Amino acid sequence: MEQPFSLKMIDDNLVLEEEAVKIKSIAKRAQLQKRHSVIGQRGEVMLELSRVAPHEWEFVYPAIYDDLMNEFHTGCESYEEGNLDEAERIFRAVLAQMPDHLDAIHHLALVLSERGLPEEARDLWEQTVRIGHKAFPQDFEIGGDLLEWGWLENRPFL
């Protein structure tokens, strides 16, 4: 005995109910996978804010970001050891390859501040805030949407 089937209308199309469920599932995933891209100084995608669940977002970085992390961490080690010349050189080298690398901008500002150049450091920190503000799409709800602290990708913005 054949199973009865039911039909549903979706966007003026008559479809089987099981297909309607699949279509709704695909549409919901597409809505959740919404991304907002931040374009860097050179016109490249610097990072994207990606919706991973309703009211939950995470940052996605381009491949060059990961490629530069070893160099960036070497700069951090130089900074922690008090070798400001080497740290500055490394952070500037990272920024030459990716001008909107937030962590490198911040750490360069730390170096400049420690060198007694607070105005230059402040300018860099203000630059990171401007970049950060551009990262959030208009439909990001402050107080309602979340950037999870546990995801390292989100930390430069928290």
Q: Is 133 exposed, middle or buried (0-12, 13-18, 19+ CB in 10 A)?
A: exposed
Contacts of 117 (CB under 8 A, 6+ apart): none
- Render pLDDT for 90-107 as a digit per residue (tens, 0 to 9): 999 999 998 888 899 999
How far is the C-alpha of 10 from the C-alpha of 35, rounded, in Å?
25
- Render pLDDT for 67-89 as a digit per residue (tens, 0 to 9): 899 999 999 999 999 999 999 99
Q: Is the dihedral of CA 99, 104, 106, 109 positive or negative?
A: negative
Q: What per-residue confidence (pLDDT) applies to 26?
A: 40
Q: Is the dihedral of CA 40, 65, 56, 31 positive or negative?
A: positive
Q: What are phi and psi of 41, to 5 degrees?
A: -60, -25
Taking each helix axis from N to C end, the angle separating 102-114 and 63-80, rounded to the nearest 10 degrees, works out to 20
Q: What per-residue confidence (pLDDT) applies to 13?
A: 52
Contact status, residue 99 vs residue 42, Cβ threshold 8 Å:
yes
The alpha carbon torsion through 70, 73, 78, 82 (nearest 10 deg) reads 180
Domains, the chain, with CATH or none? 15-60+139-157 (no CATH), 63-135 (1.25.40.10)
How far is the C-alpha of 64 from the C-alpha of 62, rounded, in Å?
6
- β-bridge partners, 48: 37, 60
**pLDDT per residue as tens, the chain (158 positions):** 555 555 455 455 544 455 544 444 444 444 444 655 555 666 665 667 778 888 888 877 788 888 899 999 999 999 999 999 999 999 999 999 988 888 999 999 999 999 999 999 999 999 988 887 777 777 778 888 887 777 666 666 56
Strands 35-39 and 56-60: unpaired
0.95 surpassed by pTM: no
Q: Is the dihedral of CA 137, 140, 143, 148 positive or negative?
A: negative
